[in-house]
């Protein structure tokens, strides 16, 4: 790293000092916190993103400024790798180090050390194309000033270019970065065109195509997602959409609205009421990477809703995809006569009833550590991998080799045959669903087309299985690191003996299940329990919480 590069970094970092006492950690959601305190963090992640681009041969990197479902006064920043996926976990410690560096001198020292270790050509050493970073932001008022900080960070790495892509959903930016690095059309219009074309293809393949289209109400969380689906509604002729909480009606982002609120509280969001009884409803979160469905079952329900969460969405997707594979001969792979590997990935927090249902379908159910990056990684091991968290974040991954096989098969089969239609549906799903990250817009379109394909109401979909009652408890402990779990977090390895105690409690309840896991951010241990009745689930959770206190108190 030459003197001109060092001077550039020192000069820019002196313009944006770190607030005293600020301590942040890069997680699944990137960095998040009070927007007033994040300018230095966003600036430094701008530097990191430019270095990441240089390390990967000047591939385009994405930077999204958002705090997703957090309150409007918060903001955050996360990095999209060239694949459209999350920042490589190997770079997360470096992100933590530079975000928390207390002075310009320490910051530059850390960068210099990292650049040498990673052998990144920078400054005068970089003779070819520099870094390229695409910046997106949601609708938060703080987004614009934080965008400027990111631009300063990127441009302080000499030869690097930051491109403002405007106000976007998080999934849009990830999709666009992935498309750009694959050499495909990567504008917002390309994204909309891809969704509408794939959706129309799937609609055209519905058997008999005589489905009565019922109204869908969409809760946009007063964020960017409501605005974006409004922009593309004209190209969605087979949807009767009514969009509420777009943010233009004066509502506050994520306040009493949105997927996170509906999923946690199981009540109607603001802007919905008893006049909507029986109507199919969907909620996005603030940056539109989460999706849940709900409906008000009756006038006597008050503000309570029937929730169709990420587990129900996963089950619907799995059922539809398996149906297409069955039409192809139970997923006969063709080349070597092998069956296609369709797998679903859940976390320990997935409701046990959903797991039982998926296993009854004959599906391969795998478990991953809590956090989207772990689910995504596991799902990528299958030809078709479906993952969802109960909170509504998830997607469907198709391996590149499997897509290639499907496209070739599509050409071989007789047009109009059931096998050809099944392959065509799978190809269209691979185009419609966002394979970079969970995407409320593309997820909603896939749900809608499957419901039309099946001829199902939202109530019929909800009958796939009935969730087991559950309870979650947080137990404060002196040291959360004393709890060590298996990689799937379903069993505790330490403290020794605690799992035996948990198993003994589970045995007391019909359909009992419970586990503990340490929080990633605070000194608490999280307890999850479920059983055949709410009373039993509560009792089991309390018993396990007492065990945690006795072992760690």
Asked whether the beta carbons of 38 and 159 are under 8 A apart, the reply is no
In a shared domain, residues 300 and 355: no
Final residue in a domain of this structure, among 462, 484, 515:
462
**Which CATH number covers residue 343?**
3.40.120
CA angle (81 as vertex; 232, 6 as ends), nearest 5: 125
In a shared domain, residues 263 and 378: no
In a shared domain, residues 407 and 509: no
Please list the residues that pair with 162 across neighbouring strands.
133
* Burial class of residue 330 (count of CB atoms within 10 Å of its CB; 0-12, 13-18, 19+): exposed
Longest dimension (CA), the chain: 72
Closest CA to 502 of 530, 540, 535, 473: 540
Give the CA distances from residue 364 to residues 72, 252, 356, 402, 491, in Å, rounded to whole numbers and listed in that order: 40, 42, 11, 17, 20
| pTM for the structure as a whole | 0.95
| One pLDDT digit (tens) per residue for the chain, 553 residues | 889 999 999 999 999 999 999 999 998 889 999 999 999 999 999 999 999 999 999 999 999 999 999 999 999 999 999 999 999 999 999 999 999 999 999 999 999 999 999 999 886 655 568 999 999 999 999 999 999 999 999 999 999 999 999 999 999 999 999 999 999 999 999 999 999 999 999 999 998 766 677 999 999 999 999 999 999 999 998 899 999 999 988 899 999 999 999 999 999 999 999 999 999 999 999 999 999 999 999 999 889 999 999 999 999 999 999 999 999 985 444 444 457 899 999 999 999 999 999 999 999 999 999 989 999 999 999 999 999 999 999 999 999 999 999 999 999 999 999 999 999 999 999 999 999 999 999 999 999 999 999 999 999 999 999 999 999 999 999 999 999 999 999 999 999 999 999 999 999 999 999 999 998 767 899 999 999 999 999 999 999 999 999 999 7
In a shared domain, residues 234 and 331: no
In a shared domain, residues 207 and 94: no
* Burial class of residue 153 (count of CB atoms within 10 Å of its CB; 0-12, 13-18, 19+): buried
Give the pair of three-digit tokens for residue 121: 């050509």
In a shared domain, residues 302 and 323: no
Q: Where are the beta strands (DSSP E) in 208-335?
A: 215-219, 240-244, 280-284, 291-295, 306-308
Structural domain count, the chain? 4
Distance CA 251, CA 249 (A): 6
In a shared domain, residues 501 and 451: no
Q: Is residue 203 part of a domain?
A: yes
Q: Is residue 383 part of a domain?
A: yes
Give the pLDDT of residue 330.
Answer: 57
Q: Which residues are annotated as a binding site for substrate?
A: 389-391, 517-521, 526
| DSSP summary character for residue 339 | B
Q: Is residue 446 part of a domain?
A: yes
In a shared domain, residues 426 and 482: no
Final residue in a domain of this structure, among 245, 276, 310:
310
Q: Is residue 191 part of a domain?
A: no
Closest CA to 383 of 429, 417, 347: 429
Closest CA to 423 of 316, 325, 314, 319: 325
Distance CA 290, CA 171 (A): 10
Q: Is residue 185 part of a domain?
A: no
In a shared domain, residues 374 and 519: no
Give the pLDDT of residue 249.
Answer: 83
Final residue in a domain of this structure, among 437, 462, 487:
462
**Which CATH number covers residue 47?**
3.40.120.10
Produce one character per residue of 100-121: b if its CB has 16 or more CB atoms within 10 Å, e if not: bbeebeebbebbeebbeeeebe
Q: Which residues are annotated as a binding site for Mg(2+)?
A: 68, 285, 287, 289
Asked whether the beta carbons of 66 and 142 are under 8 A apart, the reply is no
In a shared domain, residues 444 and 378: yes
In a shared domain, residues 296 and 374: no
Please list the residues that pair with 485 across neighbouring strands.
492
Distance CA 269, CA 70 (A): 16
The sign of the CA dihedral 221, 227, 233, 235 is negative
In a shared domain, residues 200 and 90: no
Q: Is residue 173 part of a domain?
A: no
Q: Is residue 35 part of a domain?
A: yes
Q: Is residue 175 part of a domain?
A: no
Q: State the catalytic residues.
A: 68
Q: Where are the beta strands (DSSP E) in 176-320?
A: 215-219, 240-244, 280-284, 291-295, 306-308
Domain that holds residue 202: 196-310
Give the pLDDT of residue 126.
Answer: 57
**Which CATH number covers residue 537?**
3.30.310.50
Q: Which residues are annotated as a binding site?
A: 68, 285, 287, 289, 389-391, 517-521, 526
| DSSP summary character for residue 36 | G
Give the pair of three-digit tokens for residue 412: 């071989």
């Amino acid at each position: 790293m030459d003197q001109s590069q060092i001077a550039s970094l020192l000069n820019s970092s002196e313009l944006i000092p770190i607030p005293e006492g600020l301590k942040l950690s890069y997680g699944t959601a990137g960095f998040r916190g009070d927007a007033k305190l994040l300018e230095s963090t966003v600036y430094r992640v701008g530097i990191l993103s430019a270095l990441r681009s240089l390390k990967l041969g000047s591939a385009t990197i994405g930077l999204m400024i958002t705090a997703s479902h957090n309150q409007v006064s918060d903001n955050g920043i996360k990095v999209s790798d060239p694949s459209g996926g999350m920042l490589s976990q190997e770079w997360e410690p470096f992100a933590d180090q530079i975000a928390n560096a207390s002075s310009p001198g320490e910051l530059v020292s850390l960068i210099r050390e990292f650049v040498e270790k990673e052998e990144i050509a920078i400054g005068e050493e970089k003779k070819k194309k520099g870094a390229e970073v695409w910046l997106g932001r949601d609708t938060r008022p703080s987004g614009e000033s934080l965008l400027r900080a990111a631009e300063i960070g990127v441009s302080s790495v000499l030869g690097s270019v930051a491109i403002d892509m405007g106000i976007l959903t998080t999934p849009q930016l990830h999709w666009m970065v992935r498309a750009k690095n694959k050499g495909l059309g990567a504008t917002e219009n390309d994204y909309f065109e891809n969704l509408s074309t794939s959706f129309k293809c799937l609609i055209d393949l519905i058997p008999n195509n005589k489905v009565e289209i019922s109204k869908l109400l969409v809760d946009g969380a007063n964020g960017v997602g409501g605005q974006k689906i409004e922009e593309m509604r004209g190209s969605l002729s087979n949807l009767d959409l009514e969009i509420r909480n777009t943010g233009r009606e004066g509502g506050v982002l994520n306040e009493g609205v949105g997927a996170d609120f509906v999923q946690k509280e199981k009540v109607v969001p603001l802007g919905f009421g008893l006049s909507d009884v029986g109507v199919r409803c969907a909620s996005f979160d603030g940056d539109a990477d989460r999706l849940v469905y709900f409906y008000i079952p009756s006038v006597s329900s008050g503000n309570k809703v029937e929730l169709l969460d990420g587990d129900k969405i996963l089950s619907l997707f799995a059922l539809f995809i398996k149906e297409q594979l069955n039409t192809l001969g139970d997923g006969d792979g063709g080349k070597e006569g092998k069956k296609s590997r369709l797998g679903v990935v859940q976390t320990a927090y997935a409701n046990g009833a959903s797991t039982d249902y998926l296993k009854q379908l004959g599906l391969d159910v795998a478990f991953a550590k809590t956090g989207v990056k772990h689910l995504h990684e596991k799902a990528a091991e299958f030809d078709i991998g479906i993952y969802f968290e109960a909170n509504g974040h998830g997607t469907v991954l198709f391996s590149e080799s499997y897509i290639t096989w499907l496209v070739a098969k599509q050409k071989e089969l007789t047009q109009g045959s059931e096998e050809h239609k099944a392959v065509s549906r799978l190809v269209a799903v691979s185009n419609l669903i966002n394979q970079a990250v969970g995407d409320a817009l593309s997820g909603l379109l896939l749900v809608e087309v499957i419901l039309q394909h099946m001829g199902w109401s939202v109530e019929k979909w909800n009958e796939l299985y009935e969730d087991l009652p559950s309870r979650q408890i947080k137990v404060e402990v002196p040291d959360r690191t004393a709890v060590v779990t298996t990689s799937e977090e379903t069993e505790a390895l330490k403290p020794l003996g605690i799992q035996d105690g948990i198993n003994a409690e589970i045995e007391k309840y019909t359909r009992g299940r419970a586990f503990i896991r340490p929080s990633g951010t605070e000194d608490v241990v999280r307890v999850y329990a479920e059983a055949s009745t709410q009373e039993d689930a509560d009792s089991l959770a309390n018993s396990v919480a007492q065990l945690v206190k006795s072992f760690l108190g």
